[in-house]
Structure 1
């Protein structure tokens, strides 16, 4: 790590209040995105290096190899390293404001010190969430302001870039603040969060709910108690039964059949009653609904004597992970709608006082463009109105180009990790004014776990290394190399065993 506050060079050429350039002092090493400082008696200007160029007036590109070689071997050369920086702001009395000062040529430029960077990126605020460190400056912690999440957050990255890791860090920080957190988890990526360092329990306020359909790769041994996420059939209205059966809202004929079956139910009004009611509808209707009846029989394990409700999964300081793995999308849509709609109703009616943060993993599957399902309607409603009632979204996706742009544009803060798809980059540009061309250009070069933080939860755009998780991570990519090693070892053991059997046969016969 280079010494902070050290001299780097002097400003040269044409400078303005937004951009400046400086010639680098011989022997100094500097990297793109490094932070620099220009000090004055009553204020300091902080900037970030966006471009580094090396120039020689002698070694022109038309000189040819032999000409260049003569200059190099005779040590005749005049190389000038020029850095171009953008102004982040002016720091006066510990506060960062938009810079309006002119930077003149011949002004000394220094590497930004820990103190001034900490004042900018990790201010001592009550609502600070610790998310990591500055890239290239592990001595400077980075925090975001929880109040910036009032207008929702998007976490965007291609597969394997660290979006679930980053989401887990935000969940940990919100739990420390006492927030109520709900996670819609389609692939059981967050179910191991109960475990902390060394396998110890991280928090007693993390609860995991799973349906009998779950295919998540975990058990009581590695997560502890897992609670049932079930429905009591008698609590369901006809429209809800149709949703569970995968009958779309515009399939009015099938929905009418379900309604007729429901109205003819007698006795306990449970699933068996519902299926028996097929005998009371016309044969042609019975034929139309038969495939859906077979499906609901197949998933009958989701029905129980009790419906999991709001008081189970919403409580101050509680993180509730709703394991949706093993479900078809429309069934996941129904369970998710039931949860977040109940939360929204409770907040609108003031039945629950405290802020609720809803994390939606694989959000592009719940709110693709042009959809008008119940789950998409509810998410859109929370995106537009939720902040008035204390319900906040964290939208997590690897395909911002395939998510409803009205919802994405309502997320006024973003954690953006590596993104390479041009359509996804364009979607990000269209969704937020704070995302500049320079930020978009750099997204492809980010390493795993590196992120650009922009929007209302930070003072200025930040390029950060997301900190290590305190909780255990689930999901993630399969380590092919290590699994192949184990496969070869098992193959060799099997060959050895088979060889032993053959030798025994030869000795004893048979």
Structure 2
């Protein structure tokens, strides 16, 4: 039976109204329902609470916003307001799930967490969530990487191929089971390791010894090579590059082979091209057996490109080469649909006012065209204002954790259709571990308490476990031994010291005798 919580008070609009509460245990964000005389049960959400004294009595008022009712798979808002003094009840699970478009089944969905104010699991349809690109945005320390790891766990359970661009080496922790049992119990989550589903590659295997060496294919198209070279080329220099690639066409070649061919050119402008090619060669990422697109994109596998300890310019080069190769393969239908996640996205596709980097163009192309070929992009950042606006606006699903910077909030508002000042306040007031979810995967924006991870978070993983030797249980013999052999360690130390003293005395005597003999024979000198 629905729980009565109060009555509608004062002026009533179709989109908003006030509730005179009869109970004090109603929270901000709670869902309520009102029986409309024409449309039946309508869902609403409490956006704020205020308490004051009136005629010596305490009054508790809630501000509520109408969400609507479901009709023909659409959520509609009543065309006429509720009656004054209409009774208000706490909303039931079924009505919330139905109107908000939340799945009732965990299987083949993303279990993100629990709906704020209710013990209702939030299951998001995978295709609707990632199929039109995703952004995960938050200020530092709000739980951004933790939320991303939860999404990755869910996609791995459903065998979705994943590629993660990981500048700080955060996501290798998917290999380790979580041991925070209290947190997992609250969300009905069990510890799990995805070690058998994670493949980690790194450019710097000294800092990342558990990863495989990342080696990229040195073969380029003319457009690729011009984009990747760390300088702008003149038409003459582009012609030199074209001739060199033409000579090596249909051959397995290295960057050094390319340099040698360019050196054969007579034009003096070749030296700028050679300098750029030497930069590529010296990066070391083209040495060895190159990984293929099929190695990186596999069903049920997360390929982590760990860039920890790699210089920013080389990071840009790696992302550009991998993203371009995968995009071309996807356009040719050679790969299954996959999830491509870019951490610290503001560094790899910055807004034009913050400079341009090597990887900007390809990421813009993927954002605008990738979904047609099953290339699903996810950008993750703590500085939304610094991400390319074209890229951010292409992300249909927005998972936004706490953000307070006015510029970042403005950038988020510009990327979300129908963004309101109320949503901005909601984002400012989110707690750590809470997220506002907006997009096609939900009928209306919802606030979610992100579930506990199945795997360990970076801060809880020890890189090297310190081994503590086992203490042998003290027996009766050990207890009485000191009575007879006072202190064996002191005794052994005393013996050793005596030996050392004797050795020093002998050495001293030998030295003295030798000195005397020398003094006899070398007296005159």
| Shorter-normalised TM range | 0.7 to 0.9
Q: Does the 8 Å contact 2:283/2:314 carry over to 1? A: no
Measured against aligned partners, the alpha-carbon deviations of 1:378-401 in whole angstroms (never above 9, x if no partner) come to 222222222222221111111111
Match of 1:104 in 2: 83
**1:116 and 1:283, CA in 2 relative to 1: closer, same or farther beyond 3 A?**
closer
Of 410, 419, 422, the residue aligned with 2:406 is 422
Match of 1:131 in 2: 112
2: CA distance, partners of 1:282 / 1:325? 41
Q: Does the 8 Å contact 2:44/2:64 carry over to 1? A: yes
1:455-466 equivalence runs, <5 A: 455-466=439-450
Match of 1:145 in 2: 125
Of 8, 33, 50, the residue aligned with 1:37 is 33
Q: Does the 8 Å contact 2:45/2:65 carry over to 1? A: yes
TM-score (norm 2): 0.75
Q: Unaligned regions of 5+ residues in structure 2, if any?
A: 180-190, 463-493, 505-525
1: CA distance, partners of 2:206 / 2:234? 30
Root mean square deviation, CA, Å: 3.8
Of 12, 16, 35, the residue aligned with 1:19 is 16
2: CA distance, partners of 1:251 / 1:332? 25
Of 318, 321, 346, the residue aligned with 1:364 is 346
- The DSSP-based 3-state class of the residue aligned with 1:193 is helix
2: CA distance, partners of 1:359 / 1:91? 34
Measured against aligned partners, the alpha-carbon deviations of 1:376-433 in whole angstroms (never above 9, x if no partner) come to 2222222222222222111111111111111111112200001111001001111111
Measured against aligned partners, the alpha-carbon deviations of 1:10-47 in whole angstroms (never above 9, x if no partner) come to 1111112211111111x522222222122368731111
TM-score (norm 1): 0.77
**1:204 and 1:251, CA in 2 relative to 1: closer, same or farther beyond 3 A?**
farther
- The DSSP-based 3-state class of the residue aligned with 1:151 is coil
**1:288 and 1:477, CA in 2 relative to 1: closer, same or farther beyond 3 A?**
farther
> What is the deviation of 1:219?
4.2
Q: Does the 8 Å contact 1:196/1:470 carry over to 2? A: yes
Match of 2:149 in 1: 168
Do structure 1's residue 451 and structure 2's residue 447 form an aligned pair?
A: no
Match of 1:341 in 2: 324
**1:477 and 1:276, CA in 2 relative to 1: closer, same or farther beyond 3 A?**
farther
Q: Unaligned regions of 5+ residues in structure 1, if any?
A: 59-76, 221-225, 480-503
- The DSSP-based 3-state class of the residue aligned with 2:173 is coil
1:323-338 equivalence runs, <5 A: 323-338=306-321
Q: Does the 8 Å contact 1:239/1:255 carry over to 2? A: no
1: CA distance, partners of 2:347 / 2:8? 50
**1:242 and 1:109, CA in 2 relative to 1: closer, same or farther beyond 3 A?**
same
1:486-497 equivalence runs, <5 A: none
Q: How many residues align?
A: 452
Of 215, 233, 236, the residue aligned with 1:230 is 215
Of 196, 200, 210, the residue aligned with 1:204 is 196
Match of 1:62 in 2: none
Do structure 1's residue 305 and structure 2's residue 288 form an aligned pair?
A: yes
> What is the deviation of 1:443?
1.8
Measured against aligned partners, the alpha-carbon deviations of 1:266-321 in whole angstroms (never above 9, x if no partner) come to x9854555666787678976876787577556433x23332211110112222211
Q: Does the 8 Å contact 2:14/2:79 carry over to 1? A: yes
1:48-127 equivalence runs, <5 A: 48-57=45-54, 77-91=56-70, 96-119=75-98, 120=100, 122-124=102-104
**1:406 and 1:230, CA in 2 relative to 1: closer, same or farther beyond 3 A?**
same
Q: Does the 8 Å contact 2:193/2:454 carry over to 1? A: no
Q: Does the 8 Å contact 2:167/2:307 carry over to 1? A: yes
Q: Does the 8 Å contact 1:44/1:92 carry over to 2? A: no
Between structure 1 and structure 2, the one with the greater Rg is 2
Measured against aligned partners, the alpha-carbon deviations of 1:447-503 in whole angstroms (never above 9, x if no partner) come to 1110101111111110111111122333x6999xxxxxxxxxxxxxxxxxxxxxxxx
1: CA distance, partners of 2:274 / 2:392? 39
1: CA distance, partners of 2:91 / 2:403? 29
**1:387 and 1:239, CA in 2 relative to 1: closer, same or farther beyond 3 A?**
closer
Q: Does the 8 Å contact 2:43/2:91 carry over to 1? A: yes
Of 172, 181, 184, the residue aligned with 1:191 is 172
**1:250 and 1:276, CA in 2 relative to 1: closer, same or farther beyond 3 A?**
closer
Measured against aligned partners, the alpha-carbon deviations of 1:323-379 in whole angstroms (never above 9, x if no partner) come to 122333332222222222222222222223x32111111111111123666632222
1: CA distance, partners of 2:19 / 2:220? 69
Match of 1:154 in 2: 135
- The DSSP-based 3-state class of the residue aligned with 2:317 is helix
2: CA distance, partners of 1:16 / 1:181? 47
**1:292 and 1:377, CA in 2 relative to 1: closer, same or farther beyond 3 A?**
closer
> What is the deviation of 1:57?
4.4
Measured against aligned partners, the alpha-carbon deviations of 1:58-90 in whole angstroms (never above 9, x if no partner) come to 5xxxxxxxxxxxxxxxxxx13322111001112
> What is the deviation of 1:97?
4.1
Of 333, 350, 353, the residue aligned with 1:350 is 333
Q: Does the 8 Å contact 1:193/1:202 carry over to 2? A: yes
